[in-house]
Amino acid sequence: MFTTGSKTLIGAATLATIAAIVYGVTQDGVRGTIGLVSAATVLAVLSAANVALRDSNVFVDDPAPVETVSAAQRSGSNSPWPLLFALGSVIIVVGLVSYQPIFVIGVVALLAGGAEWTVQAWSERASSDRGWNAAVRNRLSNPFEYPLAAAIGIGIIVFAFSRVMLWLGSKTNTTIAFSVLAAIVLVVGFLFAGRRRARAGAIGGTIAVGAIAIVAAGTVAGLDGQRDIPVFETTSLWMQEANEHPEEYAEGAAEGKHPAEFICESPEKFPEADKKASQTVALKANATTIVLQENGELAFDVPGPAEVNPDGLTIPRSNPTNFIFRNETDEERRLSADLGIDDDGFRDMACTPLVEDDGSQVLTLTVGKPSFAAEGVTSGPTEDAEDYWFFIPGVETAKLRLIVP
């Protein structure tokens, strides 16, 4: 006959199967469905094994073992795992009708509760010796429980701490917060160090209080939200501003807030975007190098040693291409690319910030339109010059043809 354990597993397998069907049909989520189908399969296999082994139950018509075998022993203790199992089931249902992450948490809780419950139920019937049963349970479960619990605990602490960090609004606040925290740790450490024999309970309790404090602070900070992170000005933002709000842009220029030209056509310094430009250079692998030489001409070097035609630089269409611009002149200069008029009718230009003498900057270009279809390019050596062009604002001799097939 079916034992209680078998019935539980059969019920769980049935439930998982129904959940898989319901989730698969209503949510159309591949991963969730795979997880539930996997759970149903595992539970079905466990059910079959349990039924086959009769849940390790003894024959009722065998009088000898009634008093002595493990199955005849009273249950060891109250177990929290059925509670976690039930909680996981509820969370899954909530997740099904709300958010996928909640559903995943429910599945994790269900699996964890089920696994722990299974191991505990098995261990309590492993022998008639309770102490040995507890030991065998710990030997099986602790290698999983301790690392997982530690990872979850550390994860919560780190997450809570990161919320606090993101909430702190300024460097001053951060400095104060860290100073106070460091002082607390120092004082507490000093107090414990000063005692000849510190009790383990006291140390554990103090750490627990600290952990709770961090989690509480993280919760409060998380609910309050992150500080406002300012958007720093870039050359592309200046181009966008000039294109989309020409009147306000001209107004700002008239008030002396910035030069009047497009940033990519200007040799002058713009606020913020040109500030400390060379300190923001990023290393890009296998980039094409474009050099403004002392004689005021542009030279370039592409990855690979084969000779290229110095009159033009060809890059693939619709693919980000990295350039490193190096300024070898005595004045601050920026590298600009004139890509004509874009689909919205705006001037399509890209440029680096101003780069000081011997400084470098990266420019990444993605050009979606072939250069033979370029329109409105004004930066070539002549008015009717075809293709796109690299140029240096303020240096008439610095022109480089950019070809996109």
Cβ nearer to other proteins, comparing 178 with 372: 372
CB of 127 to other proteins, least distance (A): 32
Both structure tokens of 33: 């469905």
Contacting residues for 255 by C-beta, under 8 A, at least 6 apart: none
- Kindly tell me the sign of the dihedral angle through the C-alpha atoms of 96, 99, 100, 105: negative
Distance between CA atoms of residues 76 and 123, nearest Å: 9
Cβ nearer to other proteins, comparing 128 with 289: 289
CB of 324 to other proteins, least distance (A): 13
Cβ nearer to other proteins, comparing 333 with 369: 369
Cβ nearer to other proteins, comparing 43 with 313: 313
Distance between CA atoms of residues 404 and 373, nearest Å: 10
CB of 304 to other proteins, least distance (A): 5
From residue 375, how far is each of 113, 313, 332, 337, 385 by CA, in Å?
66, 18, 29, 14, 10
Binding site for other proteins (CB under 8 A): 284-286, 302-309, 311-314, 316-320, 322, 343, 366, 368-370, 372-373, 403-405
CB of 32 to other proteins, least distance (A): 16
CB of 21 to other proteins, least distance (A): 21
CB of 161 to other proteins, least distance (A): 32
Distance between CA atoms of residues 110 and 88, nearest Å: 4
Beta carbons of 215 and 157 less than 8 angstroms apart: yes
Cβ nearer to other proteins, comparing 131 with 305: 305
Cβ nearer to other proteins, comparing 25 with 60: 25
Exposure of 9 by Cβ count < 10 A (0-12 exposed, 13-18 middle, 19+ buried)? buried
Q: Scanning the structure block, which residue is given the tokens 């000005």? A: 233
